[in-house]
Copies of this chain bind each other. A is one copy, B any other.
Amino acid sequence: MSERIFNIALDGTGGDRIDPMAIARAVRFATLINQKLKVTVFGTADLERALLSEKLPKGSYEFIEANELIPQDEDPRKVLTAYKNSAMRMAVEYVKAGKAHAVVSSGGTGPLVCLSRHILGVVDGLRPALCAKIPAGPDSYSLMLDLGANASSSPHDLCSFAKLGHVAFKVLFKKEHPLVGILNVGTERNKGSALVKEARDLIEEDKSIGECRFVEANMLFTGHCDVIVTDGFTGNVALKAAEGVASSFLKRSGIKGFFAKLGRPDWLVPWQYNGSILLGVNGLVVKGHGSAGQEAVAVALSQTASMIAGDLSNKICQELA
C-alpha cells in the first residue's frame, strides 16, 4: 500500500444539501482513486458515525470533532472573532499549521474568504479572488475570476485578478503566454463601464501579462481567452445564468430530457462540479459547490489532490515573486 502523503483538511459542515453520508461516500471515493490522499475531516459526531459506517481503508482519513457551524452570511467581524470550534476555521488553521496541504470547504463564500485571508495571509499586494476552470470546448478550459470573493472591485482589483489568473493558467496548463480577456458588454475598446476600461489600461501596462482584450458573455465557453477577468458580482451572475440554461435543457423528464442529454456537448457539463480555487492567499483553498451534492465534494477533493501533487500553490507564488 502506497503512503498517503497528500493531506486535505475537509470542512465537513458546509454546503446546502450535503448530508453526512454523502460526505463519507465522497471521502471514500476520493481516497480510493488517489491512494496518496489522506483526508482530515472536521465535523460533528454524526459525520464521524457516517465515516465509520463506510468502513474506509485504514489511514485514508482522520476525524476531528468541530461542532460549530458558521452561517453563510455571518458578519465578517464575527467570523473572525467567534466560531473558534467551527469546522471551517479549524480546517484553515490546520493548513496554516502545516498539518495539511489544502483546505476544501463547501461552506459560505464570505466566511471562507475572510478566514483564509486572515489566517493564511494574502500574497503581497494582490487581491484574492475565487477562480474556476470553465469548459471552453473539447479538452479545453479557461480560468474565470473573480466568482464572488469580493463584493465590489476596483480597476486595481481586476488587475490583481488578471495577474493571478495569468500565472495560474501558466502553471496549470503549461502555456507560456495565456491570453487575458475582461468580461464586458462589447468587444470594442470604447465599450463598457469605467471599471472595465480602466482595468484594461492597467492590465496592458503590466509587462508580465501583455495583451488583453474585451470578451462578451456569449464567448465564455468558446475559448476566445485563456483567462477571463471580471468582478465577483458579474462573474457570479454570468455563471449562474449559464447554469440555469444548461439545467433547463438537462433537467427535463420524458423524451425531451432524453434527447437533451444525448445532445449535450460532452465537454460542457458538469462544469459546476469543479471546485473553485481562492487565488492570492498563502495556501491552497478550494471552495466546493454548495448545492451539487456528493459528486461535487468528491470532485473537489480529487482535483485538490492533483493540485497538491502539481505543487500549484508554491509554483504560483514563485511565478509572482
- A72-B192 Cα distance, complex, nearest whole Å: 13
Does A245 sit within 8 A of B, measured CB to CB? yes
Does A257 sit within 8 A of B, measured CB to CB? yes
Does A139 sit within 8 A of B, measured CB to CB? no
Selected contact of A193 from candidates B72, B151, B263, CB within 8 Å? B151
Shortest A64–chain B CB gap in Å is 30
Interface string of A205-246 (1 = CB under 8 A from B): 000000000001111111000000010111011111111111
A249 touches B233 (CB 8 A): no
B185 touches A233 (CB 8 A): yes
- A102-B304 Cα distance, complex, nearest whole Å: 57
B245 touches A246 (CB 8 A): yes
B241 touches A185 (CB 8 A): no
- A229-B185 Cα distance, complex, nearest whole Å: 17
Shortest A33–chain B CB gap in Å is 28
Does A194 sit within 8 A of B, measured CB to CB? yes
In the complex, chain B residues whose CB is within 8 Å of the CB of A220: 241, 244
Given known pairs A218-B240, A221-B244, A248-B221, the reply for A263 and B265 (CB within 8 Å) is: no
Selected contact of A73 from candidates B73, B148, B191, B222, CB within 8 Å? B191
In the complex, chain B residues whose CB is within 8 Å of the CB of A248: 221-222, 265, 268
Q: List residues of A whose CB falls within 8 A of some B CB.
A: 72-73, 148, 151-152, 183, 185-186, 188, 190-194, 216-222, 230, 232-234, 236-249, 252, 256-265, 268
Q: Given contacts A217-B243, A237-B238, A242-B242, could you give 20 more A-B pairs where the C-beta distance is less than 8 Å?
A: A151-B192, A151-B193, A151-B194, A152-B193, A185-B232, A185-B237, A216-B237, A217-B238, A217-B244, A218-B243, A220-B244, A222-B244, A237-B241, A246-B249, A248-B265, A248-B268, A249-B260, A252-B265, A256-B263, A256-B264
